[in-house]
Amino acid sequence: MKRKINLVGQNTLTVSLPSKWAQKYALKKGDEVEVNENGSVLELQGKTGLTLSKFSLKVDRGNHSYMRAIISHAYKKGYDEIEVIYEKEDLTPEIQKIVDTLLGLEMMEVDSKHCVLKNVAIGLDSEYDNMVRKIFQLILQNSQKTYGAVGNNDFKDYNSVNYARFMVTRYADFCKRILNKYHRNDDLLIFRYMLVQILEKASNKYDYIYRFGSEAKPKKFSKECLAFFKETNDLFELFFHAFYSKDKSKIKDINLKKDKLLFEVLYDIRNKITPDDFVVVHYLATIVRKIVDMTGPFFTLTSG
């Protein structure tokens, strides 16, 4: 759309906001918006986020998974204050472990009966794109580390790989929070959310492969398994470059490579690989499918 530039005073140029856009993001006089300069393009972002009242929950010892799920859900939904009540015994140490996984959340008030968690990540709500890039980079890093470990049958660095997976989950949860809190009216919300969700699942699969090698102590992996691993990593890297170059032509190559891996190579090697190989290839085949799953959000997010 075109907007006319107006002169206010002697030096100030102004332009009016589209009324439908302003209404969509509940902007009013006195509100602040974020303006980013990108060459000849000015990007305008509404800063009005979802305002939610305090979220409260009661917990008991022995339900750590439940606590983790509920606190994480409230965080991702966009709550800035979460009260955790534990009437029977102090659960602060367990809750602190959960808080440490959620970017920007801190334990601010504590006593023997309850604690209050508050969001302190002010000004990071515009970091979605940077967080997604970090997620990609961490997965690429782990894919190479895991491939090297399988090739050398050396899985001594699991703590490093698992920490990278932890950071992927941390960044992914923060991205989901940003989307729920600041982009609820964005037509692309579901596609941004899907991208992050799928990346997180792919990240987990690399972690599972390394964990299998670390705990199961498998023997040497076959050349067929290693070749399938390399092709999977190459496919993920191809999608990464396609996404950031917005090169839709690469998606055809991705689908062709997917078909070859899942419907030719996998069939061909099924009688040549060992049970240990099969565990790794199973996870790799899942990663291949996740890569293709991301091509849907890719087309929508890179259009226009």
196-199 LR contacts (CB < 8 Å, sep 24+): 196/132, 196/135, 196/172, 197/172, 198/290, 198/293, 198/294, 198/297, 199/132, 199/135, 199/136, 199/139, 199/168, 199/172, 199/294
Distance, in Å, from the CA atom of 173 to the CA atom of 92, rounded to the nearest integer, reads 22
> At 290, is the pLDDT very low, low, confident or very high (cuts 50, 70, 90)?
very high
What's the pLDDT score for residue 126?
Answer: 77
pLDDT tens, position by position, 95-118: 999 999 999 999 999 988 899 999
Q: Kindly report, residue by residue over 246-259, the tens digit of the pLDDT.
A: 999 999 999 999 99
Residue 36, pLDDT score: 65
Instruction: Provide the pLDDT for residue 45.
Output: 66
The per-residue pLDDT for 155 is 97
CA distance linking residue 252 with residue 199, whole number of Å: 20
Q: Which pLDDT score, from 0 to 100, does residue 23 have?
A: 55
pLDDT in tens, 28-37: 666 667 776 6
Q: What pLDDT, on a 0 to 100 scale, did the predictor assign at position 19?
A: 75
Q: Give counts: helices (H), strands (E), the chain.
A: 11, 8
| Averaged pLDDT for residues 19-24 | 62
Calpha distance 99→285 (Å, rounded) = 33
* Both tokens assigned to 210: 């390394």
Report pLDDT digits (tens) over 47-76: 555 666 789 998 877 677 888 999 999 999
* CB distance 36 to 45 below 8 Å: yes
Q: For residue 188, what are its two tokens?
A: 């692309």
Q: Give the model's pLDDT for residue 269.
A: 97
Q: Give the whole-angstrom CA distance, residue 129 versus residue 282.
A: 31
CB 206 within 8 A of CB 146: yes
pLDDT at 209 > cutoff 60: yes
